[in-house]
Structure 1
Amino acid sequence: MIVDRIILLSYNNTKSIEGWKIKMGKQRHCPTGILGFPVAPLKENGELDLKGLEANIEFLLENGLQSVFVACGAGELHALNKDEYKSMVETAIKQVDGRVPVYTGVGGNIQHALEQAEISTDLGADGYLILPPYLIDPSQDGLFNYLKAIIESTDLNAIVYQRDNCILTKETLLALCELPQLVGFKDGIGNMEFNTEAVQLIGDRLEWINGMPLAEVTMATYYNLGYRTYSSAISNYIPHISAKYFEALKQGDLKTVHDLHTDVILPIHSIRKRKKGYAVSLIKAGMNIVGLPVGTTVRPPIAPVEQAHYDELKEILTAANEKYPSEKAAQVEVS
């Protein structure tokens, strides 16, 4: 595939831009729609529970999600050792069994990221999501070198995740577009000026992914900018709600979008904002409430959901499932 784009970034101090074409060696695709991000289920003693991961993944697939991103942010990548990482990736690939693409998380320490990318390749993943580098607040050329090294280390598809200390300029993103392995850009910052400029400048060279916390809150805005894909935390426990929301958004059904925001999405978002780390632990709480066998144990420094917040989430989910019941007969019931 050849992408005709009259932009060339010469990555130097002047950052001059001229005409260029990217020649891709093979046709590549990025997962689209609602992306599934399973958690890292843990037993009460902190041991990884691979049976729980299998159940998490199967629940996502049964409810129509078209991709699985394992050992990423929701999967507590920061807290996994090498053997656990490998086990999670192996389990995901085996459980999915070719039904949908499987992407992994890589990032942090550059050597760890390269090792994770190699493991992902060896085990047969379709690609990986690159999370921010560890600790350092890098310059743009430093970020470019970090991302480039990971992207070029394998032939797998790569998605860059903009968040925390990995914030790109449009010039840096343009330079990365010279790498054929790069298929997507996931934004977790919410700078709409940047997103507007980047989408207009780069167009369909990349798949644009909304990676904001509880992305259903902001997806309407992102959709108008050209973002057609997002990662959904609530799909781990109420996937029919996220599917109903996204379909209403695409169809211009503003009443349903409003009702779902008011009844479900914004109340859950309100709880999520009450404590740092709830972006992960609240997912496990929701899954536990609907009966999925993943437990609520998380690894420090993430803190578990407080009981009052757990009870509040349970009330929201009970009401949501009553007002917006799943059409799937096998939908897990809130208990």
Structure 2
Amino acid sequence: MTNNRKAPTGILGFPVTPFNESGNIDEKGLTRNITFLLEEGLEAIFVSCGAGEYHALSTKEFESTVELAMSVVDGKVPVYTGVGGNITEAIERAEISAKYGAEGYLILPPYLIEGEQQGVLDYYKTIINSTDLNAIVYNRANAVLQLDAVKKLVELPQVVGLKDGIGNMDLNIELTTAIGNRLSWLNGMPMAEVTHPAYLPLGFDSYSSAISNYIPHISRMFYNALLDDNKQLVRDLYQDVILPINRIRKQRKGYAVALIKAGMEIVGLPVSTSVRPPVTPVEKDHYQQLEQILKKAFEKYPANNKAVI
């Protein structure tokens, strides 16, 4: 593995984990999902993370998704995995990621229990020191590191990035001011397009895009509009696509995952809407609302990719 010790920048692809009628992983669906993201020029693939229902995958299933992703990507872009939860399992999955040559992993929060800053720091360090892969820590839920802990964490050369999923801008300003370009900064808020204009000036030069799984051309158009300071296009995309989808996403818990699969099915990608508990599928009314939003989006902002219908 060529370890660049630098996190990916730009729009980051987080494929779902498709399930077939028997409830098993649909490898053809996952292959198409990843291929589609590559075709659309996303800068990295993060497999079996939050959107990939990491919480619901067995270690054997996790390994199969990593092996498949590495084969499909074939060195075109960096591949990162999701590790976290139970610390023993997190280390095992970090080692699996190294076995198949992933560039690194995103560390998700520990299971349930809240710890003091030293405990959360030790959680991260234990996982990071288990391999030589790049590591991105995820500030969210019960694993939010404050400035003093982050200063200690960056002593480890494997740590290349911090992803924010809580939206505490006071903390983000503290971190980015003190740490600077020692870390890459990733926006990991739900529907990150909504908040990215606030993150970009702080040095957050990448974000995970849920909608890129089904309307990546919108993600790219929005990101470029931000970089080009095209305020009118940013407002139009907010009004026509991003905010309407976000309003549906907020209607039910678990829609951060389920709505992605619904959107993929609507545009014709071979992924069913099947999810694993405790996530539930998108309700019919919300599904129909998403259909109408996407129909109007493709009419006003057509995509060139023929894979999407």
TM-score range with shorter-chain normalisation? over 0.9
**Out of 207, 214, 217, which is 2:191 matched to?**
214
Asked if residue 40 in structure 1 is aligned to residue 17 in structure 2, the reply is yes
* Bigger-Rg structure (1/2): 1
Supply the distance in 2 between the matched residues of 1:275 and 1:73 (Cα, whole angstroms): 16
**Out of 115, 119, 122, which is 1:142 matched to?**
119
What's the counterpart of residue 179 of structure 1?
A: 156
Deviation track 1:145-190 (CA, whole Å, cap 9, x = no partner) reads 0000011110000000111111111111111000000000000000
Classify the secondary structure of the residue corresponding to 2:145: coil
**Out of 214, 218, 236, which is 1:237 matched to?**
214
Asked if residue 332 in structure 1 is aligned to residue 270 in structure 2, the reply is no
Cα shift at 1:45: 2.2
What's the counterpart of residue 255 of structure 2?
A: 278
Cα shift at 1:46: 1.1
What's the counterpart of residue 19 of structure 1?
A: none
Which structure 1 residue ranges, 5 or more long, are not aligned? 1-25
Cα shift at 1:226: 1.5
Structure 2 length-normalised TM: 0.98
What's the counterpart of residue 15 of structure 1?
A: none
What's the counterpart of residue 81 of structure 2?
A: 104
Structure 1 length-normalised TM: 0.91
| Equivalence map 1:1-335=2 (5 Å) | 27-326=4-303, 328-333=304-309
Supply the distance in 2 between the matched residues of 1:169 and 1:71 (Cα, whole angstroms): 26
Cα 1:279–1:30 shift into 2, 3 Å: same
Q: Aligned-residue CA RMSD in angstroms? A: 0.8
Classify the secondary structure of the residue corresponding to 1:208: strand
The residue identity in structure 2 corresponding to 1:50 is: E
Q: Is the contact made by 2:269 and 2:307 (CA closer than 8 Å) also made in structure 1?
A: no
Supply the distance in 2 between the matched residues of 1:45 and 1:300 (Cα, whole angstroms): 15
Percentage identity across paired residues of the two chains: 60
How many residue pairs match? The answer is 307
Classify the secondary structure of the residue corresponding to 1:121: helix
Supply the distance in 1 between the matched residues of 2:54 and 2:176 (Cα, whole angstroms): 29
The residue identity in structure 1 corresponding to 2:165 is: G
Supply the distance in 1 between the matched residues of 2:291 and 2:147 (Cα, whole angstroms): 42
Cα 1:34–1:329 shift into 2, 3 Å: closer
Moved over 4 A (4+): none
Cα shift at 1:329: 4.2
Deviation track 1:284-335 (CA, whole Å, cap 9, x = no partner) reads 0000000111100000000110000000000000000100011x242401xx
Supply the distance in 2 between the matched residues of 1:65 and 1:329 (Cα, whole angstroms): 14
